[in-house]
Amino acid sequence: MLCLLTNDDGIDAPGIVALESFARSVGEVIVVAPDGPRSGYSHRATTDVAMQWEERDSEHFACSGTPVDCVRVALTHLGLKPDWVLSGINRGANLGVDLYMSGTAGAAREAAILDVPAFAFSHYHRTESTIDWELAAHACQDVFQQYQNRELIKGSFWNVNLPDPSSLINATAQMVEVAPDPSPMTLEYLAAGETVQYKSHYHHRPRIDNHDVQICLDGDITISCVNLF
């Protein structure tokens, strides 16, 4: 089995290092990831400039483009034919409407468009929490092992969100397959002179019962099948 790994936090981020640690236990691994943070890049692709390309070794490649670019370059320039694309582990959740802004999800979405099955892995954490990346890798591995043989229809991918680290440390988190929450974020706008900035309170965001936001923030692992079409 060949797994292509990417993310939106950058090739040196601890989340993708953790993801690689479990992926190597299930097969061969090639990492093609942005050379720096690309959080919030959604499905953006680079079409107007040439991208820089760094081969760190035969299994690790850094790209100046976006997460979507990394998947495209891996499947075309490198000619890889992965069995799975694994994106993440993102530092922070990608729940509900976050999916439309997330570069982590964008990479998995691009894989689905190109007919390669994919997982997007993200890790919710409260501001005061410290992520244990080894525990996160084990949790992602458990999900992968349970879902890798599940039927995944063409044009879809699995979106996985780990709860706050306390639930993993206490071993209380359960896997729950659930739909993404369509509730919009509540935004607060701060205006000063000619500038405007908005912020949100992630943990207190609106939520619908029995959807991914509520279940993940309450302490369980959410798995959602995201359909593109």
Q: What's the average model confidence in pLDDT over 64-81?
A: 97
Which range, of 33-37, 49-53, 90-94, 183-187, averages the lowest pLDDT? 183-187
Split at pLDDT 50, 70, 90, the class of 200 is confident
The sign one gets for the Cα dihedral 143, 146, 149, 153 is negative
3 state SS for the chain = CEEEEECCCCCCCHHHHHHHHHHCCCCEEEEEEECCCCCCCCCCCCCCCCCCEEEEECCEEEECCCHHHHHHHHHHCCCCCCCEEEEEEEEECCCHHHHHCCHHHHHHHHHHHCCCCEEEEEECCCCCCCCCHHHHHHHHHHHHHHHCCCCCCCCEEEEEEECCHHHHHCCCCCEEECCCCCCCCCEEEEEECCEEEEEECHHHCCCCCCCHHHHHHCCCEEEEEEECC
Instruction: Give the CATH number of the domain where residue 37 resides.
Output: 3.40.1210.10
Task: Supply the pLDDT for residue 199.
Answer: 83
Q: Check residue 193 and give its pLDDT.
A: 87
Question: Which of 94, 98, 100, 101 is CA-nearest to residue 119?
Answer: 94
Question: What residue numbers bound the domain in which 153 lies?
Answer: 2-227
Q: pLDDT per residue over 89-146, tens digit each? A: 999 999 999 999 999 999 999 999 999 999 999 999 999 999 999 999 999 999 999 9
Cα separation, 41 vs 109, in Å, equals 13
pLDDT of res. 198: 84
Residue 4: pLDDT band with limits 50, 70, 90:
very high
Question: pLDDT digit string (tens) for 16-29?
Answer: 999 999 999 999 99
188, pLDDT greater than 90: no
Number of domains present in the structure of the chain = 1
pLDDT in tens, 79-88: 999 999 999 9
Percent of the chain predicted with pLDDT > 90: 92
Q: Specify the pLDDT at position 84.
A: 98
